[in-house]
Amino acid sequence: MDARVNLLNGLPVEAAKPRRPSRAEAEAAVRTLIAWAGDDPGREGLLETPGRVIRAYEEFFAGYEQDAGAVLSKTFKEVGGYDDIVLVRDIPFNSHCEHHMVPFVGKAHIAYLPHDGVVGLSKLARLVEVFARRLQTQENLTAQIVDAINEHLNPRGAAVMLEAEHMCMSMRGVRAHGASTVTHRFTGVFAEDRVEQDRFFAMTGTR
């Protein structure tokens, strides 16, 4: 938040969103990085690389243009009275670490206890994509997914677990190949009832 204060109501004023560079500026930045790495951005094999990188970035970071509320907007009320756990496990995802801008890759397990209907199962996978395709930390990604479920589905409880390997650990630094990072967050009934937590772990095969 910007330190300035709105004189009308005394509330902080949000900082202006940075200007988004043009495609030409972005490609120029890639050429600068290639040169900084020690190669020649003008040689044949690298001439088209800046354009390829920008097109790849449009895919990697498509989540900035997507809305979790839209993904979860349609629910189904006619579920025959079903009110037990809905779980989708082993949802593959890839994201990029906001500290080093290198990938982390893994799988997500998502569960919720319906309150007033259910959402299409594919929507939970799409929800993961919305937040994974941004610069992230695994901890924040976990929280964003469960918060979106709570906000838009209003379940009696939600549970999210992510397991991922981070290239910033396996490709550089300590080079801990194969190390897996696990994060989870429980809300509602899952946070309050250890039995429901144990059911979640058993159903995901993580305990």
185 neighbors 160 (Cβ within 8 angstroms): yes
166 is an active site residue: yes
Alpha helices in the chain (DSSP H): 23-37, 49-60, 68-71, 121-132, 138-153, 167-170, 189-192, 194-204
138 is an active site residue: yes
Quickly list DSSP for 1-35.
--S-B-TTT-PBPPPPPPPPPPHHHHHHHHHHHHH
65 is an active site residue: no
Query: Per the residue annotation, which of 66, 100, 129, 165 is the catalytic one?
Result: 100
Q: How far apart are CA 57 and CA 84, in angstroms?
A: 39
Query: Per the residue annotation, which of 25, 48, 58, 99 is the catalytic one?
Result: 99
Q: How far apart are CA 142 and CA 150, in angstroms?
A: 13
Query: Per the residue annotation, which of 96, 97, 184, 197 is the catalytic one?
Result: 97
Query: Per the residue annotation, which of 98, 139, 151, 192 is the catalytic one?
Result: 98
Q: How many residues does the chain have?
A: 207
Longest dimension (CA), the chain: 65
98 is an active site residue: yes
Question: Which helix or strand (DSSP H or E) is residue 95 part of?
Answer: strand 86-97
152 is an active site residue: no
Query: Per the residue annotation, which of 109, 136, 138, 196 is the catalytic one?
Result: 138
113 neighbors 150 (Cβ within 8 angstroms): no
Q: In what order do the strands lie in the sheet with 157-166?
A: 135-136, 86-97, 103-113, 157-166, 181-188
97 is an active site residue: yes
Query: Per the residue annotation, which of 96, 109, 152, 166 is the catalytic one?
Result: 166
115 is an active site residue: no
Query: What residues are labeled active site?
Result: 97-100, 138, 166, 168
